[in-house]
Amino acid sequence: MEKKSGIKIVGTGSFLPEKVLTNHDIEKIVDTSDEWIVTRSGISERRIIDDSMATSDMASIAAKRALDNAGLKPEDLDFIIVATVTADHYFPSTACLVQKNIGAVNAAACDVSAACSGFVYSLVTGIAFLNSKVGDRIMVIGAEALSRITDWEDRSTCVLFGDGAGALIIERCEKGSEVLYFSLGADGTGSDLLEIPAGGSRKPASMQTVENREHYIKMKGNELFKWAVKKMRDLVADAIKQSGLTKDSLTYVIPHQVNIRIIDAALKRLKVPIEKVVLNLDKYGNTSAASIPIALDELNREGKLKKGDNIIFVAFGSGLTWASCVMKW
Ligand code: UT7
């Protein structure tokens, strides 16, 4: 899929819970070590929401911050898309709760389920809506309360995930900023590599499923690893080629913050200089759909983005799904 169009990002926002859970804290919960977690994943700490909050609360704060950043009012939004695997409820959608919380009375709202690729899937969905002139201004949010679906007795997964939310607003523009390229894909044959086995219509929640801890994330991390390196490498190589960028004209790659070894192995081979790769997984862990918009907002607020910068967003995850998008800031 490919589409060149006049679309720009006019505001970004994010929210990270105050509570920091360090690797040393996790050493007290499961049989692990700071050394193992840092060497195998690059993660030192992550943020965890408190009991009073859910995904929509984090998403709403990130959304309000994006509106402030853009100088827009909630009524200016035509559509709110929330990417999440940790919706507050089966239904209504988390996007509807955000719409209510921020008072975006003119906005349609729905969630997108594509796991860690969810934010880029949602961004591309928003771009497609703008291109078809269905709306003028769209809020795209990635928000996750992964601590709520993490098995805190499973050391192979509980060390990896964190909570947070990031948002951006896109609108159509005459010229200048552009979407240079996007690509989406899926391979459902790998659906058992990363899943929550119970609690859906296949295996409704029961005393038994809860006892078996089947309502938590199960991941075949090792099997995913090799696939993930190749997928990230192929996605970035394709995005550079199809958007006509060179290694010099590429300003930033914002990858899904999954594991430093995956990102390093994928991008080193492509000779993308490490200073062009935006990383924050050491502080926040893997926040699934929230990881890319949080990283973008940090970059924006640190004043590191200038007009004409070329940014590649790239993600993959459960489904299996994958997605890339190249935008000019
Ligand atoms: O976000 C979307 C998609 N997610 C991914 O793509 C994740 C991809 N996978 C990964 O990032 C890595 O596979 C992990 C970080 C999850 C694991 O790293 P690994 O190098 O693949 O470790 P492993 O699973 O092969 O485990 C190696 C050893 C095992 O022990 P033995 O069998 O060699 O004795 C595990 O039991 O490490 C052990 N282990 C741990 N040890 C200490 C597993 N988890 C831990 C832990 N602390 N937390």
3-state secondary structure 255-286: ECCCCHHHHHHHHHHCCCCHHHECCCHHHHCE
What pLDDT was estimated at residue 36?
98
List the beta bridge partners of residue 165: 15, 143
pLDDT for 63-85, tens place per residue? 999 999 999 999 999 999 999 99
Nearest protein Cα to ligand 1, atom 41: 32
Angle between helices 55-70 and 291-301 (to 10 degrees): 30
Q: Which atom of ligand 1 is nearest to the CA of 156?
A: 44
Nearest protein Cα to ligand 1, atom 42: 32
pLDDT for 25-69, tens place per residue? 999 999 999 999 999 999 999 999 999 999 999 999 999 999 999
Tell me the average pLDDT across 296-303: 97
What pLDDT was estimated at residue 209?
98
Q: Which residues are catalytic?
A: 116, 256, 286
Distance CA 79, CA 107 (A): 4
Instruction: Name the nearest CA neighbour of 253 among 180, 326, 178, 168.
Output: 326
- Residue 132, H or E segment: none
Q: How confident is the model at residue 160 (pLDDT cuts 50, 70, 90)?
A: very high
User: Is residue 120 pLDDT above 80, yes or no?
Assistant: yes
Tell me the average pLDDT across 146-162: 98
For 237, other C-beta atoms within 10 Å of its C-beta total 15
Cβ(224) to ligand 1 under 6 A? yes
Q: How confident is the model at residue 247 (pLDDT cuts 50, 70, 90)?
A: confident
Tell me the average pLDDT across 233-249: 94
Distance CA 81, CA 89 (A): 16
Q: Which atom of ligand 1 is nearest to the CA of 286?
A: 1
Could you tell me whether strands 7-15 and 163-172 are parallel, antiparallel, or unpaired per DSSP bridges? antiparallel
Cβ(32) to ligand 1 under 6 A? yes
97: helix, strand or coil: helix
- Which residue has tokens 């790998």? 190
Cβ(286) to ligand 1 under 6 A? yes
pTM of the model as a whole: 0.96
Cβ(159) to ligand 1 under 6 A? yes
What pLDDT was estimated at residue 173?
83
Tell me the average pLDDT across 283-300: 98
What pLDDT was estimated at residue 2?
46
What pLDDT was estimated at residue 134?
82
Tell me the average pLDDT across 145-166: 98
Q: How confident is the model at residue 282 (pLDDT cuts 50, 70, 90)?
A: very high
With contact defined as beta carbons under 8 Å apart, do 47 and 165 qualify?
A: no
Q: What is the DSSP letter of 33?
A: -
Considering the four listed CATH numbers 3.40.47.10, 3.10.180.10, 3.40.50.1820, 3.40.640.10, the one that applies to the domain covering 1-329 is 3.40.47.10
Q: Map out the domains of the chain as residue ranges.
A: 1-329
Distance 288 CA to ligand 1 centre (A): 17
With contact defined as beta carbons under 8 Å apart, do 105 and 67 qualify?
A: no
Strands, E assignment, 97-230: 108-112, 137-145, 163-172, 179-186, 194-195, 218-219
Q: Please list the alpha-helical segments (H only) found in the chain.
A: 23-27, 34-41, 55-70, 94-102, 118-131, 155-158, 207-211, 221-243, 260-269, 281-284, 291-301
Q: Which atom of ligand 1 is nearest to the CA of 316?
A: 2
pLDDT for 166-212, tens place per residue? 999 999 987 666 899 999 999 999 999 999 999 999 999 999 999 99
Tell me the average pLDDT across 269-292: 95
What pLDDT was estimated at residue 295?
98
CA 288 to chain centre: 5
Instruction: Name the nearest CA neighbour of 43 among 298, 305, 233, 285.
Output: 285
The chain-wide mean pLDDT, for the chain, equals 95
Tell me the average pLDDT across 137-164: 98
Cβ(228) to ligand 1 under 6 A? yes
What pLDDT was estimated at residue 4?
53
Tokens of 29: 């919960």
User: Is residue 289 pLDDT above 70, yes or no?
Assistant: yes
pLDDT for 203-213, tens place per residue? 999 999 999 99
What pLDDT was estimated at residue 174?
72
With contact defined as beta carbons under 8 Å apart, do 204 and 101 qualify?
A: no
